[in-house]
Amino acid sequence: MKIQKAFSAVCAFVMSAALLPRVLPAPELSEVSAAESGPVSYYGQLQTSGNKIIGSSYNEPVQVKGMSFFWSNWQGQYWNSGTVDRMVEEFKCEILRCSLGVDDQGSIYSGGDVGALRSVMDAAIAKDIYVIVDWHSHGAHNNTNAAKSFFSEIARDYGKYDNVIFELYNEPTQVSWSTVKGYAEQVIPEIRKYSDNLIIVGTPTWSQDVDAAANDPINDSNVAYVLHFYAGTHGGELRGKGDAALSKNAAVFVSEWGTVNADGDGAVNVGSTEEWLSWMDSNKLSWCNWAISSKAEGSSIFGGDGSSLTDAGNYLKKILNAHAENAVWRTVPKSGTDPDPQTTTPTPQTQNNERLSLSGSGSAVLEAENYSSMSGVELEDCTQGGKNVGYIEAGDWMSYSISVPQTMKYELTLDAASESGGGQIAFSCGGNTLGTLDIPSTGGWQNWQQFKVTLELPAGVSELKLNAQQGGFNVDKITFTAVGGQASGGDINRDGSVSAADAVMLCKYLIGNEQLNDEQAKQADLDSNQVINVIDLTLLKRMLLRN
């Protein structure tokens, strides 16, 4: 929680910054008991940052580990919440990959699988783990339209959850990267209509040619390239491709790997697997192992009875349980400090028990969660960092303590998001309505857009109240910009420079001992708000101190 203030020093002598008691919202019961706390609440949305993947609430590389479901059309018996719970509780998975079976022509094998996919995704979200929606095909580019409509629908319904990762194409086979890239460039915009979550893209030769992708990356800020390996078949040569991609600053994601041979069968190769695991650990690559299946082949973690563990199953459980012992989100208490990278900007920060002091010029930012009191709203994690105010319904309100040097107009820019639109805010001070603002749909609860309204705020200290006439929107922050903008002028005596002589002239004018002509008055109105007063004198002093 923070208030960013600009130009607060200017107001300091105009108005003493008295402290107001802070009214904290009582935690809602539902907030406490609703979801389990897992890696997603801790790390936030996954985001590429150079060749690393970081969390929106955790500004360092994130590595999560888990299992991949098998083709939905062939092992659908595992596609349910019971399996998700077992994978999280017994195996300690932090991520699950849903391999929706799609044939070589790019069509879903069994349309009914999408329902099962949704229940698995719902269960994963309830468990607070990451979940990959994998278009599990070897020929997806043969039917780009099918992928477009599928991902559009899933992104619309699930793209607002930080848990969700979109995998566009399991494994292109012998096709060029430019073909795969062309396909991805058509599918990505369908997802981006609704979600800025991580998108991972398969690479040619059964998702081995990450180096080719890194040489010709996709123009999107949150895309990683997929590397698959099978320890019984692949070794250092394939890791070399991974290293090459990383050295080109591409982010790599191992959405599928096996302990066995590339055909999915054979014995567990412990030696090779360990080499791969340490390579992935040293590069902080997240991974999912193939596969949650009881098919009679070496990669299946379940035996013929459908529930006992195979060699591969026991081995994976051991690896994942060992990782859990040191996983950051389980072992390091989350600090109270805001991990938002914006906190590193030089903008002065104040605590939220201080009111927002506006000056006659420049901008100041108020975090929406920083209300002095409210009714009916709740806070939630914001993809822009920190928290936002959400669950706003008609009749709910937040109020903010502000101080304004003189009655003047400010442009308020709200960072707001709304899934379905129809929101309306009435702004008031001391019972007087100052203006209203409509919040249309932004396409998602975390799709932030800026909406502006200009209000004349009364001089002095007051409570600015945002009343939801209609609900259905979230607010992250409010930027106040004095209409008239930055200070300019100052050369009141028109001698070609701004000096102490100008300040003397302005002082004389303010005490009535000086007349100003139009040109001089324009120079004296430093905040260009058509009023010449003590604020302009302050701005002028500031200018002199800087010079």
Size of the site for ligand IDC (CB under 6 A): 13
In the complex, the smallest distance separating the C-beta of residue 339 from ligand IDC, rounded to whole angstroms, is: 35
CB burial class (10 A; 0-12, 13-18, 19+) of residue 513?
A: exposed
Closest residue to ligand IDC, judged by C-beta, is 264
- Based on the shown chain and the rule CB under 6 A, indicate whether residue 263 belongs to the binding site for ligand IDC: yes
Contact status, residue 137 vs residue 99, Cβ threshold 8 Å: no
> Which one of the spans 246-254, 291-299, 312-320, 390-398 is the region binding ligand IDC (CB under 6 A)?
291-299
Contact 201, 169 (CB under 8 A): yes
Q: Can you tell me whether residue 104 is helix, strand or coil? A: coil
* Nearest to ligand IDC of 121, 312 (CB atom): 312
What does each C-alpha distance from 246 to 85, 253, 422 come to in angstroms? 34, 11, 45
Residue 528 region, left (φ>0) first, then alpha (ψ -120 to 50), else beta?
left
Q: Which stretch binds ligand IDC (CB under 6 A): 161-169, 293-301, 351-359, 396-404?
A: 293-301
Catalytic residue from among 167, 171, 190, 297: 171
Report the C-alpha gap between 132 and 301 in whole angstroms.
Answer: 19
CB 290 within 8 A of CB 257: yes
Residue closer to ligand IDC, measured from CB, 171 or 367:
171
Q: Is 217 exposed, middle or buried (0-12, 13-18, 19+ CB in 10 A)?
A: middle
Give the whole-angstrom CA distance, residue 436 versus residue 124.
Answer: 40
Of 492-531, binders to ligand IDC (CB under 6 A) are none
Residue 74 to residue 298: CA distance in whole angstroms:
16
Which is nearer to ligand IDC, 262 or 521 (by Cβ)?
262
Contact characters 163-202, ligand IDC, x per CB under 6 A: -------xx-------------------------------
Residue with tokens 């936002």: 388
256 is catalytic: yes
What residues pair up with 47 in beta bridges, in sequence order? 54
Q: Which of 365, 346, 473, 373 is nearest to 413 (CA)?
A: 365
**Interface region with ligand IDC, contact rule CB under 6 A, candidates 110-118, 218-226, 259-267, 505-513:** 259-267
Q: What is the closest distance, in whole angstroms, from the C-beta atom of residue 72 to ligand IDC in the complex?
A: 11
Span of 28-36, 40-48, 123-131, 292-300 interacting with ligand IDC by CB under 6 A = 292-300
Does residue 209 touch ligand IDC according to CB under 6 A?
no
Nearer to ligand IDC, 171 or 415 (CB): 171
With binding defined as CB under 6 A, does residue 228 bind ligand IDC?
yes
Chain centroid offset of residue 310 CA: 39
Name the amino acid, one letter, at 448.
W
Contact 393, 418 (CB under 8 A): no
Smallest distance, ligand IDC to C-beta of residue 296, A: 9
Choice from 297, 340, 476, 491 touching ligand IDC (CB under 6 A)? 297
Name the residue nearer to ligand IDC (CB basis): 304 or 395: 304
Contacting residue, 114, 262, 328, 394, with ligand IDC by CB under 6 A: 262
Q: Choose, from 256, 297, 369, 378, the residue flagged as catalytic.
A: 256
Q: Which of 299, 310, 467, 474 binds ligand IDC (CB under 6 A)?
A: 299
Q: How far is the CB of 134 from ligand IDC (least distance, A)?
A: 9
Residue closer to ligand IDC (CB basis): 18 or 296: 296
Does residue number 43 form part of the binding site for ligand IDC (CB under 6 A)? no
Closest CA to 249 of 8, 49, 520: 49
What are the Cα distances from residue 89, in Å, to 44, 54, 84, 123? 21, 25, 9, 13
Site for ligand IDC in 111-170 (CB under 6 A): 170
Min CB(98)–ligand IDC separation in Å: 13
End-to-end CA distance of the chain: 34
Cβ pair 218, 201 in contact under 8 A: yes
Residues acting as catalytic residues = 171, 256
Binding site for ligand IDC (CB under 6 A): 170-171, 206, 228, 230, 256, 262-264, 290, 295, 297, 299
